[in-house]
Amino acid sequence: MCIFCKIANKEIPSKVVFEDEHVIAFHDVNPQAPTHVLVIPKRHIAGIAQAAPEDEAVLGRLLLAARQVAEKTGIAEGGFRTVVNSGANAGQTVFHLHVHVIGGRPMAWPPG
């Protein structure tokens, strides 16, 4: 079982920001900004490239939950970034689909 599945199953503690029956959002342990929260589906999906048509509802739920996280953490009004890394070459290090919600400081484009 992957580390994010263990967090979703409450086997590993996390600082939860938002949770419903389909997703859970928690603070990143290695934040890249003052606010850095990860939103994951509770059901294991390795990444966006592995998502199937039957995952459509949970994919939409991830983005709506990201908005709720931004509102709850106070970064919605000033702006925030959502990021989904897909695969090792894109920087994905935990192979459980997750949306980074990042904010609390100005960000440039392109990132990095």
Catalytic residues: 98
DSSP string, 2-47: -HHHHHHTTSS---EEEE-SSEEEEE-SS-SSSEEEEEEESS----
**Two structure tokens written together for 87:** 């695969």
Residue with tokens 């959002």: 25
